[in-house]
């Protein structure tokens, strides 16, 4: 089943989606706009980000700000631009992340710092920058993109990425406790294998087929699948949920081994 759009359950809400020029973040921004929100897209890819904002409806509903979330100034710029453009901030989504493939024995300290700088430090900086605005407005929603990699599983070459995503889950719990008194909920999503433009561009059809075969539902996820979970946390339906995360993986984590498929009949 797919969600029915048109109810516009985020009418009059203002959202900042970081890492939304393309892929999962773009899917989240598109869902928010479809539900009535006005959205600031923050990213380091200026040309693509501007095009995405125009595609989603232009300045009335979607704008773009170039910002590096790994830097304090970048986080503060993104929040300030959202407030200046739309008059406030109700929903923060920090989706920006980088994931170079390097074995631990070959990871240089600079690469380690770069991955944790965007993925984990960026999560902290985004939350810290948004907090005063949401507190003044009497509440808000913060949603962070984690992953099944780190909190649940991992693979060679992802030591820094896994560490950053596991750290995000820990941060979500602490922030949820600290921000609850301000009526701010803090939650996360943990995507599995999602079929984004990057996967299509950098992975072979054989590799994609191999990934699909590992998913009980028989397909890779889409940005819209992740956006649905993020929307739930951002909407009034998720108002009493904080400090947790939703796994969006088509059942990928469930099998004990490779021989798990059953044919109904």
Provide the annotated active-site residues. Answer: 161
Write out the DSSP string of the chain. Answer: --PPP-S-TTTT-EEEEES-SSHHHHHHHHHHHHTT-EEEEEES-HHHHHHHHHHTT-TTTEEEEE--TTSHHHHHHHHHHHHHHHS--SEEEE-------B-GGG--HHHHHHHHIIIIIHHHHHHHHHHHHHHHHT-EEEEEE--SBTTTB--TTBHHHHHHHHHHHHHHHHHHHHHGGGTEEEEEEEE-SB--HHHHHHS-HHHHHHHHHTSTTSS-B-HHHHHHHHHHHHSGGGTT--S-EEEESTTTT--SSS-------
Rounded Cα–Cα distance for residues 33 and 15 (Å): 9
Nearest CA to 250 out of 216, 224, 214 is that of 216
C-alpha dist (Å) from residue 164 to 85, 116, 147: 31, 5, 10
């Amino acid at each position: 089943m797919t969600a029915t759009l048109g109810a516009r359950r985020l009418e009059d809400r203002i959202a900042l989606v970081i890492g939304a020029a393309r892929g999962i973040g773009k899917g989240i921004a598109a869902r928010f706009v479809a539900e009535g929100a006005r959205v600031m897209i923050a990213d380091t890819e200026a040309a693509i980000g501007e095009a995405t904002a125009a595609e989603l409806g232009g300045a009335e509903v979607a704008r773009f700000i170039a910002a590096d979330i790994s830097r304090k100034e970048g986080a503060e710029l993104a929040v300030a631009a959202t407030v200046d453009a739309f008059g406030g901030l109700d929903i923060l989504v920090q989706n920006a992340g980088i994931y170079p493939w390097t074995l631990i024995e070959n990871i240089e300290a600079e690469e380690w710092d770069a991955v944790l700088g965007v993925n984990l430090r960026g999560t902290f900086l985004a939350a810290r920058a948004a907090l005063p605005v949401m507190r003044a407005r009497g509440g808000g929603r913060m949603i962070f993109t984690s992953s099944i990699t780190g909190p649940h599983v991992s693979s060679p070459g992802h030591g820094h990425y896994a560490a950053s995503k596991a750290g995000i889950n820990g941060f979500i719990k602490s922030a949820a406790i600290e921000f609850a008194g301000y009526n701010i909920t803090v939650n996360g999503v943990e995507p599995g294998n999602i079929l984004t433009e990057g996967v299509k561009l950098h992975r072979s059809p054989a590799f994609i087929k191999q990934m699909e075969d590992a998913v009980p539902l028989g397909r890779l996820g889409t940005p819209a699948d992740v956006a649905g979970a993020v929307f739930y946390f951002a909407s009034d339906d998720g108002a009493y949920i904080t400090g947790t995360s939703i796994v969006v993986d088509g059942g990928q984590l469930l099998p004990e081994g490779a021989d798990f498929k059953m044919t109904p009949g």
